[in-house]
Amino acid sequence: MKEQSIVPKLELNQLKVYSPVGRGAKGVVFHVKIDEFGEDLALKVVLKSVIKSKNLKNNNGVEVQNRVFFEQQVLREFNHPFLPKLKGVVETESVFGYAIDYCPGGNLNSLRNQQVEKMFSDDIIRFYGAEIVLALEYLHKKGIVYRDLKPDNVLIQENGHLMLVDFDLSTKLVPKSPKTSPSFEQMKTPESEKKKLPQLPRLLSFYKCSKSGFLPQETVKSGNRPMSDSGNSSELDSVGKSNSFVGTEEYVAPEIIQGNGHDFAVDWWSYGVVLYEMLYGTTPFKGANRKETFYRILSKSPELVGETTPLRDLIRKLLEKDPKQRISLEEIKGHDFFRGVDWDMIVRLERPPFIPTQQDVGEGVDGNKAIHVESVVYGIFKKEEVSKSNSDNSNNNCNDNNYNYNEKCEENNCKSVDSKLCEESIKRGVWVEGLEQPSMSSNFLVF
């Protein structure tokens, strides 16, 4: 039986609630601290009545609620530096929620929008792209298909490394014959040996280098070899496929739209869309509406404007419409774009490209904090429930049977409760040298 860590039950009156920092289709996220520990946390709170009303509107009954609890379940299992840990659960008569690690640096999309021409340099794409690969590799080895990879779900931690969040659309597929590999905890360097290791202060340590450049014997193989006919995208060789119609419109894989079943390969498609967006500042298949976007995903090739580069080649192989021919994990890690990257070194890097500075936060709200949290969530979702009920009567484009997907599409249109908070957290950060990344303004410090 799999051993899981004991997660404490929290009371809302224990928490110092600073502010709402974002929201999604199912809940509102607050920046909080537990009085006893003083640790910054992100508290996701869901209104029970909203879940119940969604259950009544959908044929799938309690599946909406089950997805919320599934997210809590997988959070309990995580033990990886690029994934959140479940720090506590909350439940009252009207809400339930859970606390995870708080990321003060905002999300990857907000950071990109602060850059000149709203695009990242290749060096920054390589760093963040490598961290996303490691996070997806960990998830897939645990049998978890993420299914909602997008920049909005990639947050920047206090130490500058990334963290994937929002797993309510994820699912588990039982591997047929998973590759045996040690857990991240087993791979961690013992404390007694850490002092002997050299410090890794700069992005240069991200690569395997010598005085003459990359060491040939340490550089991984190129990913330019042709794909095999049998395909290798589902590296875990899963037993079955999921037929759920879920995802976020511009990042959803063709096989999800087609409804023929999907597996781990959908995450690599979404990864290709994310890399494309980091490079060009827009997604590759966006249409005027959902129908056109789906048409483009199914029939159009991505426009990879510019000279042929390893990054563009990698994106092209990730955005292969046939999941059996899509590039696999090992081929991604061995691709020319990641040539020379020391995958074991990434976690130990002390100075990622962008490091958020410590924000000055005010005191928590006065009075009963439980009433505050519940009233904010209630106010947001009850208003939307009335608005959505009215719009549903005149809009037949959304199929109720596909509620998981439609809710996620609605989430794209949901603005942050206070979007300035995210922007301010980014402006207070600093950039690190050696990335050939121009600063947006004097708010970015290059040293």
- How far, in Å, are 15, 222, 368 from residue 33 at the CA level? 6, 46, 15
Instruction: Please return the burial class of 233, using the count of CB atoms within 10 Å of its CB with bins 0-12, 13-18 and 19+.
Output: buried
- The tokens for 148 are 């909602």
Burial of 130 (0-12, 13-18, 19+ CB in 10 A): buried
Contact 59, 400 (CB under 8 A): yes
Count Cβ atoms below 10 Å from residue 338 Cβ, excluding itself.
Answer: 21
239/255 Cα distance (integer angstroms): 17
50 in Cβ contact with 25 (< 8 Å): no
User: Closest by alpha carbon to 270, among 240, 250, 288, 289?
Assistant: 250
CA distance linking residue 271 with residue 314, whole number of Å: 10
Helix, strand or coil, per DSSP, at residue 245: coil
The answer to whether residues 55 and 69 touch, using CB atoms and an 8 Å cutoff, is no
Amino acid at 4: Q
Of 57, 162, 34, nearest to 109 (Cα)? 162
Scanning the structure block, which residue is given the tokens 């040996």?
193
Phi, psi of 365 (to 5 degrees): -65, 150
Please answer whether residues 315 and 304 qualify as being in contact, where contact means their C-beta atoms are separated by less than 8 angstroms.
yes
Q: How many CB atoms lie within 10 A of CB 73?
A: 14
35 is catalytic: no
The pair of three-digit structure tokens given for residue 126, joined into one six-digit string? 């390589």
Catalytic residue, from 40, 101, 122, 148: name it. 148
The terminus-to-terminus CA distance of the chain in angstroms comes to 51
Q: Which residues are catalytic?
A: 148
